[in-house]
Amino acid sequence: MNSLLRGIAVGVVVWVCGCTSHSGSTSSESGTSSSSSSSTATIIVGTSPYWSSTPALKDLASFPIGMEVSAANDTRSIFVLKDQLPTINKHFNSLVAGVIMKMRYLHPAEKTYYYTDADALADYAAQHAMILHGHTLIWHWDSEIPAWMKNYTGDWESMLNDHVTQICTHFAGRVTSWDVVNEAIDETTTSGFRESMFYNHVGKKYIENAYIAARAADPNAVLYYNEFGMESSAQKLAILLAMLDDFKARSIPLDGVGFQMHTSLYSPKVDTIKAAFKAVADRGFKIRISEMDMQSNIGHASALDLSMANSQHDRYKEIIKAYLEAVPPAQRAGITFWGLVDGESWLNYLDPSYKDWPLLFNDDYSPKPAFYGVAEALAGY
Ligand code: XIL
């Protein structure tokens, strides 16, 4: 295919010392990009031969298109950084909280639940005809486990059941679906399960308990197991599939699997990703791509360049296509991206010496070529 048909004739807008110069062709939106930046920055704006103006992603899919957001009074909160709202509202019809619906936040003390911020997010979603996906009831990540829980000396099984029950009951009718358990598999352990606090106190049973409690508390919520890396580790995928088969055989109420898809520009091969989707889909489960982003800077590049941006377009496109090809329509439960603009990606916060451009939008909210990779795949181009 020639470069125009690949749909990423890209406008490069270079800002130097506040002067703006353009090279290449720019999309209608790139021309209106902010030029107030005082530092040197390169913004690569995507275009596509298929649209004359930027299409709304949510209009291109028959399943939810989601965005991870900050809320409460965080600097990136949708209630604080209002600049981002037109882009979020235009493209997404599903929201998920990056932080404020995790264990530490919702359950700060043994007898205390804190819902104010998550309620505000649920209200925002409802007012904008968006669904809210709940993330996440049980997760091992040290800083997201409340201190009281770490020191808990009572009956862990009933304490965790109560945690799940209280939260699911509170949000019933307003949270459409939950990541009930997040990241419980560890292919490096003898059992195949992560030796988290939950596992160490309750055993593997904590996982099924959580689904049973969630279903009882909110029978209408769609219940997911969310995990990373099943598409890159055959061992991890095998453990997942065994768990799915076991849950199915014993009627544990699990409806679907979230593939986080914190992927890389370089691996794994798209066929491997597709085979992982298919293996789960063949078992009848719903599938979400739940936290998609794309680590791209394995060298020490200091800026996104055209070649990397174009490769992101191609890789986003082929992964979304793989999802559409492997997962039958009734089992496609949506695609959620883990962050709006590159500069705010969690990958840029993990290590201050590392920089990446893993998302669909530039920091000025202009769509990157990656955006058009997703749009083209969704539209069937
Ligand atoms: C991350 C958030 O993006 C960060 O803001 C937070 O500090 C740590 O968690 N897998 C998950 C998500 O399931 O909850 C993580 O989100 C990213 C990895």
DSSP states of 341-367 as a string?
BGGG-THHHH-TT-----SSB-TTSPB
One of 227, 231, 291, 376 is an active-site residue; which one? Answer: 291
Mean pLDDT of the chain: 91
**CA proximity to 98, closest of 129, 77, 124, 119:** 77
For residue 201, with 0-12 CB atoms within 10 Å meaning exposed, 13-18 middle and 19 or more buried, which class applies? middle
Closest atom, ligand 1, to C-alpha of 346: 3
Which pLDDT score, from 0 to 100, does residue 1 have? 38
Give yes or no for residue 346 CB within 6 A of ligand 1: yes
For residue 177, with 0-12 CB atoms within 10 Å meaning exposed, 13-18 middle and 19 or more buried, which class applies? buried
Which pLDDT score, from 0 to 100, does residue 36 have? 35
183 is catalytic: yes
For a substitution probing ligand 1, which of 95, 99, 104 has the most ligand atoms within 8 Å of its CB?
99
344 is catalytic: no
Which pLDDT score, from 0 to 100, does residue 41 have? 59
Distance CA 349, CA 381 (A): 34
Radius of gyration of the chain (CA): 21
Please give the model's pTM, rounded to 2 decimal places.
0.92
Please tell me the distance between residue 101's alpha carbon and the centre of ligand 1 in angstroms.
11
pLDDT tens-place string over residues 167-204:
999 999 999 999 999 999 999 999 999 999 999 999 99
Please tell me the distance between residue 143's alpha carbon and the centre of ligand 1 in angstroms.
10
Give yes or no for residue 348 CB within 6 A of ligand 1: no
Give yes or no for residue 98 CB within 6 A of ligand 1: yes
Which pLDDT score, from 0 to 100, does residue 331 have? 99
Which pLDDT score, from 0 to 100, does residue 299 have? 81
Distance CA 19, CA 165 (A): 57
Which pLDDT score, from 0 to 100, does residue 32 have? 29
Q: What is the DSSP string of 35-58?
A: ----S-EEEEE---TT-SSPPPGG
β-bridge partners, 27: none
One of 68, 183, 227, 231 is an active-site residue; which one? Answer: 183
Domains of the chain are 9-379 (3.20.20.80)
Closest atom, ligand 1, to C-alpha of 339: 3
Q: Give me the residues of the chain with pLDDT under 70, please.
A: 1-41
Rounded to a whole number of angstroms, the distance between the first and last alpha carbons of the chain is: 13
Give yes or no for residue 48 CB within 6 A of ligand 1: no
Please tell me the distance between residue 135's alpha carbon and the centre of ligand 1 in angstroms.
10
The sign of the torsion formed by the CA atoms of 197, 199, 203, 209 equals: positive
Q: How far is CA 6 from the centre of its chain?
A: 26
Give Cα separations from 295 to 260, 264, 344 (angstroms): 13, 5, 13
Please tell me the distance between residue 351's alpha carbon and the centre of ligand 1 in angstroms.
14
Give Cα separations from 366 to 44, 70, 85, 144, 205 (angstroms): 9, 20, 13, 32, 46
Tokens of 256: 């679907």
Please tell me the distance between residue 144's alpha carbon and the centre of ligand 1 in angstroms.
9
For a substitution probing ligand 1, which of 138, 141, 356 has the most ligand atoms within 8 Å of its CB?
141
